[in-house]
Amino acid sequence: MANKFSDAEHQASLDKNLPYIEQGAEPPGRWVPDAQLPGAQKWDGQTLWSTRHGDTVVRWSLGRPFRIDFASYPDKTRGVVLENGYGRWRRLAANGRNWVHGTIEIKANDVTFSDGEQPIYTPPLKTAIPNLEADVAHDAGFLDALQDDDFANAAYTVLKTDCFYKGELRGWRADSGRAAELVANLRGLGESFNDWKPYGGSRDESYLQSVHEHLARIGWRIETL
Q: How confident is the model at residue 225 (pLDDT cuts 50, 70, 90)?
A: low
- 115: Cβ–Cβ under 8 A, 6 or more apart, which residues? 74, 100, 101, 102
- The pTM of the full predicted model, rounded to 2 decimals, is 0.85
Report the pLDDT value the prediction gives residue 8, as an integer from 0 to 100. 81
Please answer whether residues 41 and 32 qualify as being in contact, where contact means their C-beta atoms are separated by less than 8 angstroms.
Answer: yes
Better pLDDT: 150 or 14? 150
Count CB neighbours of 65 within 10 A. Answer: 17
Please answer whether residues 194 and 85 qualify as being in contact, where contact means their C-beta atoms are separated by less than 8 angstroms.
Answer: yes
pLDDT tens column, 144-192: 999 999 999 999 999 999 999 998 899 999 999 999 999 999 999 999 9
Q: Please spell the DSSP secondary structure of 126-141, one letter per residue.
A: P-SS--HHHHHHT-HH
Distance in angstroms (rounded) separating the CA atoms of residues 141 and 180 = 19
pLDDT tens column, 33-72: 999 999 999 999 999 999 999 999 999 999 999 999 999 9
Q: How confident is the model at residue 112 (pLDDT cuts 50, 70, 90)?
A: very high
pLDDT tens column, 72-81: 999 999 999 9
Q: How confident is the model at residue 5 (pLDDT cuts 50, 70, 90)?
A: low
Q: How many helices (H) and strands (E) does the chain have?
A: 6, 12
Please answer whether residues 156 and 196 qualify as being in contact, where contact means their C-beta atoms are separated by less than 8 angstroms.
Answer: yes
- H helical segments located in the chain: 7-17, 132-137, 140-145, 149-161, 176-187, 205-217
pLDDT tens column, 185-207: 999 999 999 899 999 999 999 99
Distance in angstroms (rounded) separating the CA atoms of residues 29 and 63 = 7
Average pLDDT, the chain: 93
Residue type, 199: Y
Q: How confident is the model at residue 16 (pLDDT cuts 50, 70, 90)?
A: confident
